[in-house]
Amino acid sequence: MVINPVVGPEVLTGSTRMKAGTATKLVLNTLTTAAMIRIGKAYGNLMVDMRARSFKLRDRAERIIMTVTGVTRAKARRLLAAARGEAKTAITMHARGVDYADAKRLLRKARGFLRGAIGPERRA
């Protein structure tokens, strides 16, 4: 087995495509994650700028809302519904005690950054 110091051992000895693919994926994941943080899609280590359009995404959004705000699952579900499936807006609504329109206004004023709309990262 050949060991590459950057990516680790090759799964299939002699397969440079697998090594190159793994290294490429690592670099692209790093770049896209950094980009998402720079444009305000993350809050701490949570991807908060998401629209819950499926069961899987609703579940994820509810868990994110619960983590940031400390509310129950039922309250997170109500907030998400009132925020039209937008996790970042739901968190803003709860944290600032405002309705959907005011939460959207606060987020616009903060250029889309949740930190600017509600303050620094906090975990309930």
Per-residue pLDDT of the chain (124 residues; tens, 9 = 90+): 445 555 566 555 666 666 677 888 888 888 888 888 888 888 988 999 999 999 999 999 999 999 999 999 999 999 999 999 999 999 999 999 999 999 999 999 999 999 999 987 666 6
Residue 123: predicted pLDDT:
62
Residue 44: predicted pLDDT:
86
Number of Cβ within 10 Å of residue 34's Cβ equals 11
Residue 38: predicted pLDDT:
84
Looking at the structure, give the CATH architecture of the domain made up of residues 46-118: Orthogonal Bundle (1.10)
Contact 92, 99 (CB under 8 A): no
Closest C-alpha to 3, from 13, 25, 24, 27? 13
CA contacts within 13 A on the Cβ side of 96: 22
Place of tokens 């950057």: 6
Q: What are phi and psi of 39, to 5 degrees?
A: -100, 10
Tokens representing 31 are 């770049």
Residue 2: predicted pLDDT:
47
Residue 122: predicted pLDDT:
61
Residue 103: predicted pLDDT:
97
Question: What's the predicted TM-score (pTM) here?
Answer: 0.76
Report how far residue 25's alpha carbon sits from residue 13's, in angstroms, rounded to the nearest whole number.
19
- CA torsion through residues 49, 54, 56, 62, sign: positive
